[in-house]
Amino acid sequence: MVAQGGSIKRWMAVLGLVLLGWGLALELPPLPLPPVPLPKPPVLPPPVTPSPSDQGLQRFYGQVTLSDGQALLVGGVPLLGSSPWMALLVPGMAVEVEGSWEGAGFRLRELRIVAPARFSYYRGPGAVVGQGGYRALELWTVEEGNSVRTLALRTAPDGVGVYLVAYWDGQRFLALPPGLKPPAPSLAPGWVEGTGVYRDGRVVWARFKPFP
């Protein structure tokens, strides 16, 4: 009986220690969780504020319906302002215009010829381009495949001056009218303006420069 009593006491002591441990565990505050790093906010680009000169600009495409040296209409809308390209426009060309509306017209800031892509403009004696019936003319020609055709032709004031605007691709001028053979300019590919005079049955070229 003494042995059994001792065993019971030992078991009671162990049970007391276990209960005491549970009590202490219940009284302990919870362990703090490790801090979780917050995600960094995304880096946004600074807001772009349009310059005052760009505010209110609009863009439209249209076909030239009138160009007689006095008035210029694109899709029936009068174009206001000036651009070096305006002198090259004839009815049927398609253009892109950037600017702003002004009354019933559109004041352009930039103008780009969209079609035809390959064309040239010549002003000078008709004999230079196989049009001997004209003392002087303006001639627009376009290149389509391996052929060149006339887009527009109209008379010009008499004179011996020659003026050409054409695209130089680094090897040749595109869309030149028959009979016109300017020399290769020392320029990078792009639109080129050439000037010269017609003398003794041939063109004497004076200068080539980028256009406009």
pLDDT for position 40: 54
CATH topology of domain 58-115: OB fold (Dihydrolipoamide Acetyltransferase, E2P) (2.40.50)
Q: What is the pLDDT of residues 130-171, one digit of tens each?
A: 999 999 999 999 999 889 999 999 999 888 899 999 999 999
Higher pLDDT, 126 or 50: 126
Domain ranges of the chain: 58-115, 119-210
pLDDT at 173 over 90: yes
44-69: burial string, b at 16+ Cβ within 10 Å, e else: eeeeeeeeeeeeeeeeeebebeebee
Report yes or no: 151 and 166 within 8 Å, Cβ to Cβ.
no
Output the pTM of the full model. Answer: 0.71
Question: Is residue 128 predicted with pLDDT exceeding 60?
Answer: yes
Determine contact, residues 99/93, Cβ cutoff 8 Å: no
pLDDT level of residue 47 (50, 70, 90 thresholds): very low
Q: Are 97 and 152 in contact (CB under 8 A)?
A: no
Distance between CA atoms of residues 197 and 185, nearest Å: 17
